[in-house]
Amino acid sequence: MSTNRIKVLVVDDSAVVRKLICEALSVDPEIEVVGTAVDPYAARDQIVALSPDVLTLDLEMPRMDGLTFLRILMEQRPVRVIVLSSLTRAGSDQALEALRLGAIDVLGKPGGSYSFGDLGPQLVAKIKAAAMARLTPLSPARAASPVAPPPSGRPLSSSGTNPPWPRPAGGGSRNLILLGASTGGTEALRDVLTRLPGNLPPIAIVQHIPAMFSKAFADRLDHQCAFRVHEAKDGDLLEPGHAFIAPGNFHMLVTRLGGQYRARVVDGPPVWHQRPAVDMLFKSAVEAGAGAQVIAGVLTGMGKDGAEGLLRLRERGAATFGQDEASCVVYGMPRAAWENGAAQRQVALQRIPEYICHQLEPAAASHPAAVRLTP
């Protein structure tokens, strides 16, 4: 056994699914399946005996459900976990709860046991990203409940009398916020969005997430944020006080018609092996002439998606940032955006809401009507 290979334990009550996962992972020489388990009790013994680097975890199992096992695992013996969840609304809600509890990523199970399709390469990529991820034990506060939303319209105050971030030069107005994230991004975005006031310019977000899960993600955020959060639909008007999540398996673009921004939801080939892709969103904003009106940033994630588009935005006057290494689950996308000069600043996760608010004109932070597009 090579010590350089990623050791994976497969936990699933279906013998067929265990076999399919093992076959999918066996094609990559950097990954080794060191064991399988049919339920959490068997998995507990395997974890102690084998010390796997990554677990794949089914959420619907006998004797103990996957969420209960994950909560115990992250409290007592944290390990990097990739969740495999059914492509249903209940499965999506469970998958998002698993991410909140500390799972690194989620992958949707195919409808039929024998239909694994393109999931093999996706699972390999997620295993490799998880192996690089920063592992954080589950705190009692995070285990208890999601973050409560701030009061609607509450201004986000900074510490100290002088703002720590420069505002736009030349008196320009920022009236569009663009965010992109991947591995670890669902929780990072939740941390950011739930601490923003409710009267900001429209926010457009690309999170690498499987189809079906994006709607549940948007709905969950909609109950936690001080503004409305939607899964984007083609033609949606991007209005102040609203955030739009790209639907899984579709690219989201920004267009501008008659002085208004609208979302375009389109099919198309993956970019950086991703659909939706952050670069598609960022580059579309450049083509829409947004440029200096934009605040854009990349959060935690594996790979380089978003770096090229962020650089184009910066070159046209946008305020750009990347999440800093210390607060990232995976410092991949923000690293790429920093190294190619796309990100003007690296910002710790807990300070991103403050950074965004200080990039806006003072009027934009207190008066929703001030956030308007000029024809």
- Work out the angle at residue 103's Cα, subtended by the Cα atoms of residues 90 and 80, and round it to the nearest 5 degrees: 145
Known catalytic residue at 158: no
Give the residue carrying structure tokens 């991949």.
332
Tell me the two tokens of residue 323: 């999440």
Known catalytic residue at 222: no
Active-site choice (92, 182, 214, 327): 182
Known catalytic residue at 305: yes
Eight-class DSSP state of 132: T
Rounded Cα–Cα distance for residues 346 and 350 (Å) = 12
- Work out the angle at residue 243's Cα, subtended by the Cα atoms of residues 356 and 133, and round it to the nearest 5 degrees: 70
- Within 13 Å of residue 114, how many CA atoms lie on the same side as its CB? 0
Active-site choice (53, 58, 208, 214): 208
Tell me phi and psi for residue 311, to 5 degrees.
-65, -40
CB 59, CB 85: distance < 8 Å: yes
In this structure, are strands 176-181 and 203-207 parallel, antiparallel, or unpaired? Answer: parallel
Tell me the two tokens of residue 133: 């991820």
Measured between its terminal Cα atoms, the distance across the chain in Å is 64
Active-site choice (305, 324, 327, 358): 305
Catalytic center residues: 182, 208, 305
